[in-house]
A and B are shown apart, each in its own frame.
Chain A
Amino acid sequence: MSFEIPTISYNGVIRQITVGKEPNCVTVGGESCYPFYLFEGAMPHLPRIAMEVYDAPPEDWPQAALEPFADVVHDPAAWAQKCVGSYGAEMIALQLASTDPNAQDTPAEKAVEVTKKVAAAINVPLIVWGSGNLEKDKEVLRMISERCAEETLLLGPVEEGSYKALGAASLAYQHTIAASTPIDVNLAKQLNILLGNLGVPDDRIIIDPTVGALGYGLEFCYSVMERDRMAALTQEDERLQFPIVCNLGKEVWKIKETRLSEEEAPLLGDPLKRGVLLEAMTALLFLLAGGDIVIMRHPDAIQLVRGLMNELMGEGV
């Protein structure tokens, strides 16, 4: 008897979602197999890497992360341009970290201004990510949604506590939203159902499963993403058949290991390479778990992940 490779019987397909507007848009999703299981199905769109840009100069970044952007951190538009121009970013993720009431508490009007400037400076899709403060995000993202109606943005995080306000804004102004839930299959599904009930069309939802960095709970996130994909592809779970976005750059670069100097941690190796490797490994793992968009920070890490991705796609380095 000859050996037969066991195959998985898929009965679902991930929806294809287009982010941004013509001609500067990208499409993600569409998978009919587990990530990179190209021998069993198709991945019509390669996962995309979005590069982070911050709305205010970062205060506590490790040297390794700061160095490539030292000349542009004071100007988000220039920063975004550098990401696209010098590092070939396919998407930009504007992190509105300074709007957090516990940070600078930048007013929503200012966030709108920055968003407009960044959007005008680039020709790739723009992701706009709030600070994670529920009430402030509602105010900020809602205003951006309205005032930047001419752009087609990917707005996140949209949580259970804000889905009505931000879902309605998406309906009115045609933005795509990142439905964010804390590392749980059922919660992710529930939020997608709620968004559907609100009337948000299925082609405007992307799942944000919430991710952590390598060494900081990544396994749990990985496992939940895997289960999201298993449910979507093999268990006919129609409300999970959405692409996944992983906002991981900010997670990796805040962990201790990316910040310790060589003197502080001589066993951990070159601090410049350390963070890059941690970020690249984290991103790669999330791509293997089903990520369709990964939001990253360091150009070298991105370079590494691109290479690995191409290899996985059988396209050589």
Chain B
Amino acid sequence: MSKIICSAAIRGAHKIVQRAEAEYQAAMEKWGPDQEIGFPNTAYYLPIIYGILGIGVKKLKDAKDVLDRCRSLLPDMVAEHVWLPYLAPALEAGMATFFAEEIIEAIRYLESPDYYTRTEGPADGNIWLGAADDVILRKRGVEFVDGTAPGFAAILGAPPTKEIAVQLAQELQEKNLYVFMCSDHEGRKMSELLVEEGVQIGWPTRLVSFGPEYTAAVFAMGFATRVAMSFGGIKPGDFTGNLIYNKDRVFAFAMPLGTVTDEWYANAAGAINWSFPTIADTPIPEILPTGICTYEHVVSNVPYDQLVSKAIEVRGLKVTVSEVPVPVSFGPAFEGERVRKDDLYLECGGPKSQAVEWVTTRDMDEVEDGKIELFGPDVDDVEEGSRLPLAIVCEFAGRKMEEDFEPILERQIHHFVNHTQGLMHIGQRDITWIRMSKAGRAKGLKLKHIGSVLHAKFHQEFGAIFDKVQIKLYTEQEKVRESVEEAKRSYEYRDARIEGMTDETTEMFYSCTLCQSFAPSHVCIISPERTGLCGAYNWMDCKASYEINATGPNQPVEKGECLDPKLGQWKGCNEFIYKASRGAIDHYSLYSLMHDPMTACGCFECVAAVLPICNGVMTVDRDYAGMTPCGMKFTTLAGTIGGGLSTPGFMGHSKYNITQKKWISADGGIKRLVWMPKSLKEEIGHRLKESSERVGIPELLDMIADETVGISEEEILPFLEEKGHPALSMDPILE
């Protein structure tokens, strides 16, 4: 920790404790030891002292013990040539500061009962509200718990101009934060600047003018301390619990505006105990390493127009966007809306122009959240029935953002754009195709609104995994071409990465229990090489889903010791399955259809079934309604093996899974595949071809029978023999 900061904080703490001692002495002489003291209408006495030390200060004499504690906490002044770490002493000095300041403020209530208004807003020309009573605490504290007000900015001092003051206050209000104000810089006070500009202050507008002196900072800290006791069930004196509660749940930070005095340093150091970092406008030293606070501790010299966004970033606060700001309706109801030729105003992409959508990750300082830019003409610049090329580039940044999340976020663009009335979206990546209807355009819809929709929806649905997103839209051919090139490189990199992931090199698999509502004993284990049987969830999706919703249906499963590498059984997976199926299933294989196959819910895209005469396996997808060689149609198969059962000889799986290396690898893999519907063969043909080449039988695709060859084992066997299908010469599938 910066020596300069620590020295100043410790100096400041000494001054404040001395002041408290002096005022205490004077008060004792004037009022006597049994004089009652405290903040108005609260059950928490002097809340920081009560919450941290567990001491309820009721009478003047009770403060004596606390002052003694301050003295014992106060470290020696930092000497010129000491190079020890300073963090711990500075934090203790900060703690002593708050205890001393509470005593100073309590004596003020005694000496000048009318110093503070004791109301929710300014009264009788007095703008200083003082400590929040318990009624305010309960009413406002609820907002801290339910997230409608995530936290507060404790502002000391004031910015140089009224305009900046108003701007700052508004920006903080827009982020739903409370603004707690105290102290002054060269006589200027934030609260007064706001009042002079006609801004309404008080608890109802979340602009709380606590007091004119630096000591009023304790009202902010006391509020946080009481929130932990009142809503977190934290007992008085449980300082660890209280401080951790604040770290995890109260998104507050200190914002000193103006010269940082020793006293301010002391208060800022104290706030770090609560994990509230300091964001300063002046060039004070910084403390950047993570330690007590979630991220940095002190960040300084921040320009006024960046103060709020910097503070939010450093405290790890999530932005909430409640509405999608577009002039048309928005919702899933519009997903199926088609924009046909006659309704068409503008078309981007499709067969006749180029369009691309691409999500990428940038550094935190490269992204300005909510910035939406359009380069090139918008809908109003072109005539009805026009075409424009389009590139949608979404640049994400965040402390928890990973490049693995890019494809997941990118896939959402399809839904979000489609949910917008007047827009139709087809395709993805560089085959995107967007149409805007005449009706949408008439309501004022612009291409730029795509950016607004994406910004709002990404925050609403995926806010947990990133902090900032800015969107660039290009409609100039050259720029679009550049974006496509860049995006393609990214797609290739991604594909290679996913393809390159193996179960062996991945320690953490994910579960999916989404289907337990109707298949109570079903548990999916999703590994990189065995995507969910519904086709909707791959390993990466589950990982992201878990990041977004840690208590949801996708939980991490440490695969643990490998029990059988061939069948794909792991100790950790089996234990998880036992627990998650509530004891109904105690193990299964990820790679086998014959030996304890994975349970099936009913949502599988395909069912594979053993064909004993052909010594192979068939698979049938949901869209194929006809008979199959195993003697059952898809619906009968689904009804037979679904519902959370593990049925040897049958297995539910996704279409994509067929071409993954581990698909029934214990039973011989893709070389066992002797029959599948023609349409499925065509759908996954190119990948199937690659898989065939991988196993050294490039002509395998032509050896697999389909319904045009036959729909019974007897009918397809001669075909397989004629083609020399590898399954016929493999070990018997039935042992």
Residues of A whose CB lies within 8 Å of any CB of B are 142, 146, 149, 164-165, 167-169, 171-173, 183-187, 190, 193-194, 197-199, 201, 224, 227, 230-231, 235, 237
Whether B551 contacts A194 by the Cβ 8 Å rule is yes
23 residue pairs bridging A and B, Cβ less than 8 Å apart: A142-B142, A149-B138, A165-B148, A167-B146, A168-B141, A168-B143, A169-B142, A171-B142, A171-B145, A172-B139, A172-B141, A172-B230, A172-B231, A173-B138, A185-B516, A185-B517, A185-B520, A186-B517, A190-B552, A194-B551, A199-B145, A201-B233, A235-B583
Whether B142 contacts A168 by the Cβ 8 Å rule is yes
The 9 A-B pairs at the shortest CB distance, nearest first, are namely A168-B145, A164-B146, A168-B146, A184-B517, A168-B142, A165-B146, A193-B551, A171-B231, A172-B138
Q: Roughly how many angstroms separate A312 CA and B516 CA in the complex, as a whole number? A: 32
| B-side contacts of A190, CB under 8 Å | 551-552
Q: Check B420 for interface membership: any CB of A closer than 8 A.
A: no
Q: Within B580-631, which residues are at the interface with A (CB < 8 Å)?
A: 582-583
| B-side contacts of A171, CB under 8 Å | 142, 145, 230-231
| B-side contacts of A227, CB under 8 Å | 520, 582
Whether B520 contacts A199 by the Cβ 8 Å rule is no
Q: Check B289 for interface membership: any CB of A closer than 8 A.
A: no
| B-side contacts of A194, CB under 8 Å | 551
Main secondary structure of the interface of A (DSSP, over half): helix
Q: Which of A198, A201, A224 contacts B145 (CB 8 A)?
A: A198
Q: Check B232 for interface membership: any CB of A closer than 8 A.
A: yes
Q: What is the CB-to-nearest-CB distance from A204 to chain B, in angstroms, rounded to a whole number?
A: 11
Q: Check B407 for interface membership: any CB of A closer than 8 A.
A: no
With A165-B146, A167-B145, A227-B582 known, 10 other A-B pairs at CB within 8 A are A165-B142, A168-B143, A171-B231, A172-B145, A183-B517, A184-B517, A185-B520, A193-B551, A201-B233, A237-B582
| A-side contacts of B517, CB under 8 Å | 183-187, 224
Whether B138 contacts A197 by the Cβ 8 Å rule is no
Closest partner residue, chain B, to A185 (CB atom): B516
Residues of B whose CB lies within 8 Å of any CB of A are 138-139, 141-143, 145-148, 230-233, 513, 516-517, 520, 551-553, 582-583
Whether B551 contacts A164 by the Cβ 8 Å rule is no
Q: What is the CB-to-nearest-CB distance from B34 to chain A, in angstroms, rounded to a whole number?
A: 33
Q: What is the CB-to-nearest-CB distance from B592 to chain A, in angstroms, rounded to a whole number?
A: 27
Also in contact, A172 and B142, with CB within 8 A (given A186-B516, A201-B233, A235-B582): yes
Q: What is the CB-to-nearest-CB distance from A113 to chain B, in angstroms, rounded to a whole number?
A: 19
Q: What is the CB-to-nearest-CB distance from A173 to chain B, in angstroms, rounded to a whole number?
A: 7
| A-side contacts of B147, CB under 8 Å | 164
Whether B516 contacts A199 by the Cβ 8 Å rule is no
| B-side contacts of A172, CB under 8 Å | 138-139, 141-142, 145, 230-231
Q: Roughly how many angstroms separate A75 CA and B232 CA in the complex, as a whole number? A: 39
Q: Roughly how many angstroms separate A231 CA and B138 CA in the complex, as a whole number? A: 36
Q: What is the CB-to-nearest-CB distance from A141 to chain B, in angstroms, rounded to a whole number?
A: 12
Q: What is the CB-to-nearest-CB distance from B360 to chain A, in angstroms, rounded to a whole number?
A: 32
Interface centre among A164, A168, A169, A235 (most CB of B within 10 A): A168
Q: Roughly how many angstroms separate A165 CA and B141 CA in the complex, as a whole number? A: 11
| A-side contacts of B520, CB under 8 Å | 185, 227
Q: Roughly how many angstroms separate A146 CA and B146 CA in the complex, as a whole number? A: 14
Q: Which of B148, B230, B582 contacts A231 (CB 8 A)?
A: B582
| B-side contacts of A224, CB under 8 Å | 517
Q: Roughly how many angstroms separate A237 CA and B233 CA in the complex, as a whole number? A: 24
Closest partner residue, chain A, to B234 (CB atom): A199
Closest partner residue, chain B, to A163 (CB atom): B146
Closest partner residue, chain A, to B228 (CB atom): A199
Q: Roughly how many angstroms separate A198 CA and B144 CA in the complex, as a whole number? A: 11
| A-side contacts of B516, CB under 8 Å | 184-186
Interface centre among B139, B145, B231, B582 (most CB of A within 10 A): B145
Whether A164 contacts B145 by the Cβ 8 Å rule is yes
| B-side contacts of A167, CB under 8 Å | 145-146
Interface centre among A146, A149, A172, A230 (most CB of B within 10 A): A172
Q: What is the CB-to-nearest-CB distance from B133 to chain A, in angstroms, rounded to a whole number?
A: 14
Q: What is the CB-to-nearest-CB distance from A223 to chain B, in angstroms, rounded to a whole number?
A: 9
Q: What is the CB-to-nearest-CB distance from A207 to chain B, in angstroms, rounded to a whole number?
A: 15
| A-side contacts of B551, CB under 8 Å | 190, 193-194, 197
Q: Roughly how many angstroms separate A164 CA and B149 CA in the complex, as a whole number? A: 12
Q: Roughly how many angstroms separate A168 CA and B144 CA in the complex, as a whole number? A: 9
Interface centre among A164, A167, A173, A186 (most CB of B within 10 A): A186
Q: What is the CB-to-nearest-CB distance from B519 to chain A, in angstroms, rounded to a whole number?
A: 11
Closest partner residue, chain B, to A239 (CB atom): B551
| A-side contacts of B143, CB under 8 Å | 168
Q: What is the CB-to-nearest-CB distance from A243 to chain B, in angstroms, rounded to a whole number?
A: 20
| A-side contacts of B231, CB under 8 Å | 168, 171-172, 199
